[in-house]
Chains A and B, each alone.
Chain A
């Protein structure tokens, strides 16, 4: 199913339903957190990294639809058998759709989406310039979290999701998937 058809399907079925609940709301915010690779080589080379995740959503009752930007993930590490110093960067926009519920004072939610990631590994040594890699790849993310309203406008948010990304390099394929743990605040209108 193409993206256009998917969006059409969502708007055709979900929006009429949700408008019956509470009407259209807007949510935005920024999360910061850490990314943990599942690939041992990546983990050993770079460890985790601090990242920033600004996002916006349209909320229709229990359903929300939005986008975010995964960035700030530039990590320095030592790579390979000679422990060459290198930098790794992953960034890119995501779109997602989710469902949330109201359980007392908190809003637990689940979401799934697609990411359009750019990645780059750059060596500090000039001799390894030919081995620098820059590319783009589509991935997906699934996860969930909690939103904790504070007053009518502010919300604290915690997210925990899995980001899947399989990158291509020079004679190499690399699984850059991993867990993303985020926390932050948001505004709700």
Chain B
């Protein structure tokens, strides 16, 4: 019971979780520190969460479990995100009530709609429609919560959380450091499953590869400062297994366990990638039908962990499945005409939807032989090494990767594109002036108009601290000249787009 759980909370102690020194992770990054502190001094219980597991049966919700675990609660995409919330369907609602029927909290949520299968050597149906999905929703912990109610378009269920609550509190209760005040970031959490303490180095190596690969790809590469990818050495059983649904390369995990592990990790988790300790090729990715406003973490991705020899495949599988789970992207290869296709931005009835950004127009994709796909990408073949521009820049439902990323980061302007410098010699007859002609174009993935550009410059090879604001240009500008340069004057430039509210895009760089 919750009261019983609180007794555990009163026990103070010190515990360090997730602190690894292997690879790029775990070194000073959000290490979860349990501090010896008295609970009685805290008015809020902000380091526990309640997880409500809801099973849908033909649209009728049923609350199957309620867990209380140590963890962080946060709302993704806090703050106004005008134009960034697609509305595919009416969300479900979970509400918490206290004694006397007083409503404590409510939260909209969506459920996974499809489960995707990693591509195989032969064409096969690589998508499974989840007709009766199960979803685990993380809620803040309320000490006096007594009843949870789930509403799915008028179809309701409720349960006395005091009766069915399942508490997983450790003997020594970890204390979480609060999330950073500036949480305008996309937080990707990579969770291990099935690794022992002795084999965690392999997990970290895989996580490092995934992180590096993901952040090298557009649109993520342009917002690396706003994307936090953490690896957490989860030791709990997430229930992952191969041969899910009879497909050997499909790895399924227990969604509630995954969400609980993420909440307990101490890291923030807008999106989750599970790395399952296996050398057998496989993975999976949930898509939620296009919604990313709420509980985006429930549509997580899974990849096998592999070993050193398969690292490049592992990272490609992870990013491909992330394309499904985060981007709601379709497979761009053809399953061979089997019906049943989620709405996505990269497999459409016509190419005109993306023709502004992507010239590709090839027939047959996913389960539709009559649909079209854009240029080759990692959603077509794992070796493609990039998402195509249609998948990145789509501004139509259910939105491309850039727009989805902006929902979390608040970055509505992307780094200017094609930012280049051309060295020109200006013949002043008795003198030679050198001119750096800078040109660029507004990123076609921008979600609002560019109001102005800030152009910074520093001497070539100078430290980044030497960047100085050189000029501010009108938002319609696409070029400018840096004049009055002598033969050996070389510079590096940083260009930032600014919207009418003063929000700045990530920077684009170029130099001599």
Q: Point out residues on A near B: beta carbons under 8 Å.
A: 41-42, 45, 79-82, 84, 86, 88, 119, 121, 123, 127-128, 130-133, 167, 169-172, 174
Name the distance in Å between A122's Cβ and chain B's nearest Cβ: 10
Name the distance in Å between B160's Cβ and chain A's nearest Cβ: 78
Q: For A42, A81, A121, which residue has the most chain B Cβ atoms within 10 angstroms?
A: A81
Q: Which residues of A contact B43 (CB under 8 A)?
A: none
**Contact status A119-B430, CB under 8 Å:** yes
Q: For B427, B431, B433, which residue has the most chain A Cβ atoms within 10 angstroms?
A: B431
**Contact status B429-A171, CB under 8 Å:** no
Q: Which residues of A contact B486 (CB under 8 A)?
A: 130, 170-171
**Contact status A41-B429, CB under 8 Å:** yes
Chain B residue, CB-CB nearest to A128: B484
Bound together, the chains give a CA A169 to CA B427 distance in angstroms of: 11
**Contact status A80-B428, CB under 8 Å:** yes
Q: For B426, B427, B430, B483, which residue has the most chain A Cβ atoms within 10 angstroms?
A: B430
Q: Which residues of A contact B426 (CB under 8 A)?
A: 80-82
**Contact status B431-A133, CB under 8 Å:** yes
**Contact status B484-A171, CB under 8 Å:** no
**Contact status B431-A170, CB under 8 Å:** yes
Number of chain B residues close to chain A: CB under 8 A: 14
Asked whether B432 is an interface residue with its Cβ less than 8 Å from the other chain, the reply is yes
Asked whether B424 is an interface residue with its Cβ less than 8 Å from the other chain, the reply is yes
Q: Which residues of B contact A132 (CB under 8 A)?
A: 431
With beta carbons under 8 angstroms apart, the residue of B429, B435, B483, B487 that contacts A169 is B429
**Contact status A172-B432, CB under 8 Å:** yes
Q: Which residues of A contact B424 (CB under 8 A)?
A: 81
Given contact pairs A80-B427, A123-B428, a sample of 7 additional A-B residue pairs in the complex whose CB atoms are under 8 Å apart? A81-B424, A81-B427, A81-B435, A82-B426, A86-B428, A121-B431, A128-B428
Chain B residue, CB-CB nearest to A132: B431
Given A82-B483, A171-B487; A121-B433 close (CB under 8 Å): no
Q: Which residues of A contact B429 (CB under 8 A)?
A: 41-42, 45, 79-80, 88, 121, 169, 172, 174
Main SS at interface, chain A? mixed
**Contact status B483-A171, CB under 8 Å:** no
**Contact status B484-A170, CB under 8 Å:** no
Q: Which residues of A contact B428 (CB under 8 A)?
A: 79-80, 84, 86, 121, 123, 128, 131, 172
Q: Which residues of A contact B487 (CB under 8 A)?
A: 171
Instruction: Give 8 closest A-B pairs by Cβ, nearest first.
Output: A169-B430, A170-B431, A171-B432, A133-B430, A131-B431, A121-B430, A80-B426, A80-B428
Q: Which of B393-448 contact A (CB under 8 A)?
A: 424, 426-433, 435
**Contact status B431-A171, CB under 8 Å:** yes
Q: Which residues of B contact A82 (CB under 8 A)?
A: 426, 483
Given A81-B424, A171-B487; A128-B433 close (CB under 8 Å): yes
Bound together, the chains give a CA A6 to CA B206 distance in angstroms of: 88
Bound together, the chains give a CA A95 to CA B337 distance in angstroms of: 96
Can you spell out 29 A-B residue pairs with CB atoms less than 8 angstroms apart? A41-B427, A79-B428, A79-B429, A80-B428, A80-B433, A81-B427, A81-B435, A82-B483, A84-B428, A121-B429, A123-B428, A127-B484, A128-B433, A131-B431, A131-B433, A131-B484, A133-B431, A167-B430, A169-B429, A169-B430, A169-B432, A170-B431, A170-B486, A171-B432, A171-B486, A172-B427, A172-B428, A172-B430, A172-B432
Name the distance in Å between B484's Cβ and chain A's nearest Cβ: 6
Q: Which residues of B contact A130 (CB under 8 A)?
A: 484, 486
